[in-house]
Amino acid sequence: MSKQNILIIGAGLCGSLLALRMAQRGFEVTLVEKRPDLRKVTQDAGRSINLALSDRGLRGLRLAGVEEEAKKLCIPMNGRMIHDKAGNTFLSPYSGRKDEYINSISRPGLNMLLLDEAEKMPNVQLIFNHACEDVDLENASATFRNYNSKEEITISADAIFGTDGAGSAVRKNMFDSHKFLFSFSQQWLSHGYKELEIPAAENNGYRTYKNALHIWPRGEDMLIALPNLDGSFTVTLFLPYENSDYCFANLTSPEMVHEYFNKEFPDVVEMIPNLSEEFFGNPTGPLGTVKCSPWNSFGKVLLLGDAAHAIVPFYGQGMNASFEDVVVFDEILEKYTFEENINWNNFFKEYEALRKKDTDAIADLAVDNFHEMKEHTAMEIFQRKRKLETAFEAEFPEEYYSKYSLVTFKESITYSEALKRGRAQDKAILNLLDDGKIKDEMSLKEKLELVKKETEAILHDD
Ligand code: FAD
């Protein structure tokens, strides 16, 4: 067991799970967070207050022994409940296999659980209200400013982990250092997001179906809603910033907001009593993809979670991928713990070589799903495809996994494998449907064989 000192910067979802796991591995862990302790001070205004947690994320929680506790905070969502403009709904299951569903979980609830568990470890020190401002990348030390007193402290360690999210200060230090070649890209979507709330009905009842992720797909814009344990739903509006009939730039008055919602989402209006107050009171957030490389500098500092690979939220995989980072990290750590002094340089390189292609893949898949959710879920051909895939999964559960299932439920394959196979399958089914080659009179098995053959041909051509 290593007694090395580890400094983790950012006690969000990834940092607190990593701290817990590294403490379980015997490291001396200091976890520093810029914001106040969210177990004591209510915060998170404007950040997504619930998230979709699925198998890859659960695997990370299982590794640290907190899966069962986390499940107590979960609401299963079995499928997408699609709402059309006339207020009709239909449920599109996430999988044909009965035991495959995703979960809605409170972000602060999960974060608090992880902090509580980390705090129970005698070898974890938690420091709140300290923002990292500077990192000495070559000497593994970081300087933090106390939010209240404005005083500075410097903490040194054997290795530093930057888990400080999409706007990472640690990553910025790498970018600004000019001491090594650091590639960085940030791509914004033309859409932003805004959160609203459907409050609970009487006695913590739900105003719409509880066990689904609700979607109102409208082509360029989209509304989604995830249930909370108290009966409310967190609603997220995804809307272009500008250059559209309705966009954040022109929804400038309560009348405009009501006009827009009455036209596009009439069944939601009655469920959000404070629509315009919330619309104007809550911030609008940007949506972007961050890719960078290398993730480590001088074998002393490593980025994980959103700091290394922020993605758009449309696959519900950002947190799941960040938890999977901890799983992959831990698998490699297993090999290195026998060394008296871990060679972090080799370790970090091995980790990135294994992991980067997969986080790049989920970043691209998440952008794909943006289009699928806002446009395709409402299109007839995609609904036929979804129906067929659900039937394949129900009838031949061992033989067929849709792209969504490969990404969300099949944690034994990597994101990059899921991307390759999933995209080929999508192309195969859409081609076959479009060409009228999948005929009603065919048995389901014959249809499956046709799809498999076409998929293999596409994979072979690629
Ligand atoms: P964060 O959770 O952002 O944590 C970073 C922490 O570092 C924060 O506590 C922050 O205060 C702290 N910090 C920042 N700067 C400093 C500093 N200078 N010094 C010290 N501390 C610092 N993912 C899913 O899997 N499922 C979903 O359904 C989903 N929905 C989403 C919806 C939206 C609208 C958005 C924006 C994201 C969504 N995500 C989802 C993605 C998910 O939120 C992130 O992938 C996840 O939070 C990443 O965890 P993290 O710990 O790397 O970063």
- Contacts of residue 187, defined as CB under 8 A and 6 or more positions apart, other chains included, come to 288, 289
- Contacts of residue 448, defined as CB under 8 A and 6 or more positions apart, other chains included, come to 392, 396, 399, 400
Predicted pLDDT of residue 164: 98
Domain of residue 146, residue span: 5-75+105-185+288-369
Residues 196 and 258 in one domain: yes
Report residue 2's pLDDT band, with 50, 70 and 90 as the boundaries.
low
Domain boundary at 286, 315, 343, which? 286
Per-residue pLDDT at 393 exceeds 50: yes
Residues 446 and 400 in one domain: yes
Ligand 1 mutation target, pool 30, 32, 34, most atoms within 8 A of CB: 34
- Is the C-beta atom of 9 inside 6 A of ligand 1? yes
pLDDT digits (tens, 9 = 90+) for 337-359: 877 789 999 999 999 999 999 99
In a domain, 109, yes or no: yes
Report residue 44's pLDDT band, with 50, 70 and 90 as the boundaries.
low
- Is the C-beta atom of 52 inside 6 A of ligand 1? yes
Quote the mean pLDDT of the chain.
94
Asked if residues 296 and 390 have their Cβ atoms less than 8 Å apart, the reply is no
In a domain, 91, yes or no: no
Residues 46 and 178 in one domain: yes
In a domain, 17, yes or no: yes
- Is the C-beta atom of 35 inside 6 A of ligand 1? yes
The residue whose CA is least distant from atom 38 of ligand 1 is: 313
Predicted pLDDT of residue 46: 46
The residue whose CA is least distant from atom 3 of ligand 1 is: 165
Domain boundary at 344, 369, 394, which? 369
CATH of the domain at 61: 3.50.50.60
In a domain, 333, yes or no: yes
Distance from C-alpha of 102 to C-alpha of 409, rounded to nearest angstrom: 9
Q: What share of the chain is helix, strand, coil (3-state, %, to 5)?
A: 40, 25, 35
Between CA 121 and CA 342, with CA 127 as vertex, the angle to 5 degrees is 60
Does the pTM of the predicted model rise above 0.90? yes
Question: Ligand 1 mean position to 307 CA, how many Å?
Answer: 9
Distance from C-alpha of 237 to C-alpha of 223, rounded to nearest angstrom: 4
Residues 54 and 9 in one domain: yes
Domain boundary at 237, 267, 286, which? 286
Of 73-87, 344-358, 376-390, the least confident: 376-390
CA within 13 Å, CB half, 414: 13
Residues 241 and 325 in one domain: no
- Is the C-beta atom of 14 inside 6 A of ligand 1? yes
pLDDT digits (tens, 9 = 90+) for 299-311: 999 999 999 999 9
Model ipTM? 0.99
Helix (H) / strand (E) containing 454: helix 444-461
pLDDT digits (tens, 9 = 90+) for 280-323: 999 999 999 999 999 999 999 999 999 999 999 999 999 999 99
Number of folded domains in the chain?
A: 3
Per-residue pLDDT at 368 exceeds 70: yes
Of 10-24, 42-56, 96-110, 205-219, the least confident: 42-56
142-163 mean pLDDT? 97
Question: Ligand 1 mean position to 10 CA, how many Å?
Answer: 9
Question: Ligand 1 mean position to 35 CA, how many Å?
Answer: 13
Residues 237 and 327 in one domain: no
In a domain, 260, yes or no: yes
Question: Ligand 1 mean position to 11 CA, how many Å?
Answer: 10
pLDDT digits (tens, 9 = 90+) for 48-71: 689 999 999 999 999 999 999 999
The percentage of the chain sitting over the pLDDT mark of 90, rounded to a whole number, equals 90
Residues 172 and 257 in one domain: no
Per-residue pLDDT at 126 exceeds 50: yes
pLDDT digits (tens, 9 = 90+) for 226-278: 999 999 999 999 999 999 999 999 999 999 999 999 999 999 999 999 999 99
Of 205-219, 269-283, 363-377, 446-460, the least confident: 363-377
In a domain, 252, yes or no: yes
75-102 mean pLDDT? 93
The residue whose CA is least distant from atom 2 of ligand 1 is: 12
Amino acid letter, residue 340: E
